[in-house]
Structure 1
Amino acid sequence: MSDFWSSTISIGFHGLALAMVLYLISVGLSVTMGLMGFVNLAHGAFAMIGGYLMTSLMSRYNVPFVLALTAAVVVVILISLILERLLYRRLYGGDELDQVLMTMGLIFISIASVTYIWGPITQPMQPPPALSGQIDLGFRTFPTYRTFLIVCGAVLVTLLWLTLERTRFGAQVRAAVDNLRMAQTIGINTSRLFATTFALGSGLAALGGALGAEILPITTFYAMDNLIYFLIVVAIGGLGSIRGPFFAALLIGVSDTAFKYVAPELGAFFIYALTMAILLWFPRGIFGRT
């Protein structure tokens, strides 16, 4: 296999793995912002906490991978429900500046909290033995864990799409996103819907943060450092969209990997330029509602 095709396949593979992580974390932010009209900049903090919980359970207490992952997601969902009831609910429909200031405050609180509990050192991500090493796909080998991540992400994307497109809950979410007042008029309990959707989005963020800890390292400034990527995926995909963030995550994941491979000295410059070009052409995102 020539160097060109080898590099192209490698870029596509690793870009797809990154895309799955970005999608799992960002799709909840897209739906909650589109449904609630809430500027939740602290969404990445839920991914960070999920990553911290899973990696520490595995490394410090030898908890099996699946059990540690499940525990991390459940704990983050419970935390999100408490925060939604005590803080977020008070600012629904409020001034956007107040929402930004509150969620930025939560980011700094989360940074201070994880620094106090886990310290400033990056948390190690050691995949279980079954997911370590390389897997031979016939024409070349790939990292086993990232292959698992791509397959797992594809399954979760399908399940999420079926949930939001083929269930009563999904119909209520889509109705509320399209017209909140009409949804309330026909009897949808939007308060409970908001809480459930917020918890689902936070749980997906925790799942993405935990599964993607090998790609996006779990550090104290995780929620701040990666915030721009989550917002870019949401902005390009469009608020309230399910498929939009998926295609946006694919675009950003593969493009970011390719650009950093071709011109690593320029960092993420190309991603910002690409985002500006797309938003100039599609101000509401590619799949955004008009």
Structure 2
Amino acid sequence: MFGEDLAGIVLGGLAAGMVLFIVSVGLSVTMGLMGFVNLAHGGFAMIGGYVIVLSMNRLGVPFVPAVILGFVLTAAFSVVMERLFYSKLYRAAELDQVLFSIGLAFVMIASVIIIIGPETQPLILPSWLRGQMDLGFTTYRTYSIFLIAVGGLIALGLWLGFERTRMGAQIRAAVDNRKMAESLGINIDRLFTITFAFGSGMAAIGGGLGAEFLGLDPQYTLKYLVFFLIVVAVGGLGRITGVFYAAMLIGVMDFVLKKYVPQGGTAFIYALTILILLVRPQGLFGRKDA
């Protein structure tokens, strides 16, 4: 019984952590690359979630094509936002960036309420993702196992792309030293746009996949923003592996605290984050500056 309970806690926490990772990794890279305090990142996750859920519920689009559609449309929307607004504020003061992005988040919330309504949108899973799966040592929700598997594959793909491709090398170079990267001929503006679009698309996937247990409503944009920022802060800016470890740690901790300390358990995560950042301002898994 204890072994099954422990397995359930670990699997549930890992599933939640994978959703946090998928949403937060784009924020980590774009903040590390652009130096832009983007508090509207959760809004792109919300928009992608709405595209995925509504295309399934109202248009009958199958699950996998709906997820792809959410990624593509959100990435395209983010390119428009990046070119029209974000690019004008890359060299602005951090306060200006915060005010703009939080204002954009509120615009996104109001727009969704006006167009769709304030109700929570349910994610209706296809039959092959419902029910329980026998893992040998325990039986657990099929969808949670699916999230763990998909999240693991995404993490591996991002790590390979980040560490083993030319584009990944350019992103790492720009994160570590933007001026040096520019002097080497790297087109930073184009790199910004591509990275921002990809990060927003990843957020959209996370928003859709996580709608089944996190819920999806207009307040999603701000409701989980603190968790996304905590993952980025603990994992380190621009660090794929750091964000992954931080998301797994926070996902498991949050799952355990909600299960055993439902009243105020989340405050422990906030306190621990503050303590970590006091000791290691670059994050638990971030790299110290030379």
Q: Answer whether TM exceeds 0.5 for this pair.
A: yes
- 2:234 partner SS: helix
Q: Letter of the aligned partner of 2:273 in structure 1?
A: T
- 2:202 partner SS: helix
| 2:263 maps to 1:262 | no
CA–CA distance in structure 2, aligned partners of residues 99 and 148 of structure 1: 37
Which residue number corresponds to residue 142 of structure 1? 140
| 2:6 maps to 1:8 | yes
| 2:224 maps to 1:198 | no
After TM superposition, give the deviation of residue 181 of structure 1 in Å.
0.4
Which residue number corresponds to residue 57 of structure 2? 59
After TM superposition, give the deviation of residue 52 of structure 1 in Å.
0.6
| 2:32 maps to 1:34 | yes
Which residue number corresponds to residue 278 of structure 2? 280
| 2:75 maps to 1:77 | yes
Q: Normalising by structure 2, what TM-score? A: 0.97
After TM superposition, give the deviation of residue 134 of structure 1 in Å.
0.9
Which residue number corresponds to residue 231 of structure 1? 229
CA–CA distance in structure 2, aligned partners of residues 268 and 144 of structure 1: 26
Unaligned runs of 5+ in 2: none
After TM superposition, give the deviation of residue 245 of structure 1 in Å.
0.7
After TM superposition, give the deviation of residue 211 of structure 1 in Å.
1.2
Q: Letter of the aligned partner of 2:141 in structure 1?
A: P
Q: Letter of the aligned partner of 1:269 in structure 2?
A: A
Which residue number corresponds to residue 87 of structure 2? 89
- 1:142 partner SS: strand
Cα deviation digits, residues 143-171 of structure 1 (max 9, x gap): 11111111000001000100010000000
Q: Letter of the aligned partner of 1:197 in structure 2?
A: T
| % identical aligned pairs | 56
* Contact 2:4/2:137, CA 8 A, preserved across alignment: no
Aligned residues: 288
Which residue number corresponds to residue 43 of structure 2? 45
| 2:110 maps to 1:112 | yes
1:246 to 197, 221, 244: 244
- The runs of at least 4 consecutive aligned structure 1 residues that moved more than 6 Å come to none
Cα deviation digits, residues 209-267 of structure 1 (max 9, x gap): 11111122111100100000000000101112111111110110000111121111224
After TM superposition, give the deviation of residue 139 of structure 1 in Å.
2.4
CA–CA distance in structure 1, aligned partners of residues 142 and 238 of structure 2: 33
Q: Normalising by structure 1, what TM-score? A: 0.97
After TM superposition, give the deviation of residue 122 of structure 1 in Å.
0.4
After TM superposition, give the deviation of residue 288 of structure 1 in Å.
2.2
Q: For residues 170-209 of structure 1, what are the structure 2 equivalents within 5 Å?
A: 170-209=168-207
CA–CA distance in structure 2, aligned partners of residues 68 and 237 of structure 1: 30
Q: Letter of the aligned partner of 1:85 in structure 2?
A: R
Unaligned runs of 5+ in 1: none
Cα deviation digits, residues 1-25 of structure 1 (max 9, x gap): x2x3222211111100010000011
Q: Which moved more, 1:259-268 or 1:58-67?
A: 259-268
* Aligned-CA RMSD value: 0.9
After TM superposition, give the deviation of residue 105 of structure 1 in Å.
0.7
* Contact 2:50/2:208, CA 8 A, preserved across alignment: yes
Q: Which moved more, 1:113-122 or 1:225-234?
A: 113-122
- 1:264 partner SS: coil
Cα deviation digits, residues 119-153 of structure 1 (max 9, x gap): 11100111111111111112221111111111000
* Contact 2:39/2:225, CA 8 A, preserved across alignment: yes
Q: Letter of the aligned partner of 1:211 in structure 2?
A: L
- 1:245 partner SS: helix
- 2:210 partner SS: helix
CA–CA distance in structure 2, aligned partners of residues 288 and 139 of structure 1: 35
